[in-house]
Structure 1
Amino acid sequence: MTAFRALPLAAAVCAAVLPGPAGPASATPSVGVEARILSQSTLDGQDFITKELTIAPGGSTGWHWHPGQVYGVIRAGTLTHYGSDCAVDGIYPTGAAITEQSGPGYVHLGRNLGPDPLVMWVGYIDPAGSAQATPVSNPGCPFE
């Protein structure tokens, strides 16, 4: 399978967890997140990026939103996903696909509440040169 054909699958993985460039001083940082680029290309003004994200037990993506499309697949562990209302809006076990909405109106956070590392393949389709995620401050939730 070519890297481009695998993009929708890998992209389906993500949804949550890529720290982008530094945001405002009050932005919440990711904790325990490692990212590895699997493939990257630009075509017709859009970046196509696939990453493997690993979140350590107890780790978090930090609060953020995405400027473009995000798709991911959970390869190991379980992702617990929260909306800006502090409620869990999804629990994604190994093998589950995830997509996320785009834009600053969809602030969210992903956490690894399990005892093992969480591994995701995540695909991003963004305007060329943009960050995959924009960090923001905690919307008032009692956790990061």
Structure 2
Amino acid sequence: MRIVSAVVAALLLFSGVASATPSHGVTAKDIAKWSVGDKDYALREITVAPGGATGWHHHDGTLYAAVKKGVLTRTMSDCTTTFVHHRGDTLIEEPAHVHIGRNLGTEPMVLEVLYVNPAGTPLSRDEPNPGCSFE
């Protein structure tokens, strides 16, 4: 029995199964939620503290956002494609693109976000770090 336990523990330890990267320094406030047909809509205000990050994730639907304060840095799963969005900028995130949002600035970053998702799906889905060295 000890051998079986040791083998199972070793497989779990060295299996290479990646785990999701949690967010830190992120708060969200729901403004409105509604559904029409096969779509769920959610309007939220997202605040990321200086040094904070969303964690790696993707969305099942399309996300529309406007930067209200600060600077948002988004990096895609190839670890090199980075977008920097300043106050007043708008952005669209297409479904299934794995990315992370970070606040590399010294003031809180505030986004107003509209999520347009297939009915019954979560606003986002956690993903493991794809191998980027900063998270």
Give TM-score, length-normalised by structure 1.
0.79
C-alpha separation in 2, matches of 1:88 and 1:115: 23
What is the identity, as a one-letter code, of the residue corresponding to 2:93?
E
2:121 counterpart (109, 123, 130): 130
Once structures 1 and 2 are overlaid, which stretch shifts more, 67-76 or 128-137?
128-137
Which aligned runs of 4 or more in structure 1 are off by greater than 4 angstroms?
Answer: none
For 2:63, the equivalent position in structure 1 comes to 70
- Of 78, 86, 95, the match for 1:85: 78
Bigger Rg, which one: 2
- Taking the aligned partners of 2:62 and 2:125, their CA distance within structure 1 comes to 13
Change in 2 beyond 3 A, CA 1:88/1:25: closer
Between the aligned partners of 1:108 and 1:77, the Cα distance in structure 2 is 19
The aligned residue for residue 19 of structure 2 is 26
Q: Give how far 1:78 is off.
A: 0.1
Matched, 1:52 2:45: yes
Q: Is the 8 A contact 1:80 1:88 kept in 2?
A: no
The percentage of counterpart residues that share the same residue type is: 43
CA distance in structure 1 between the aligned counterparts of 2:30 and 2:18, rounded to whole angstroms? 26
Q: 2: CA distance between counterparts of 1:62 and 1:41?
A: 26
Q: Which runs of 5+ in 2 are unaligned?
A: 1-16
What is the root-mean-square deviation in Å for CA atoms of aligned residues?
1.3
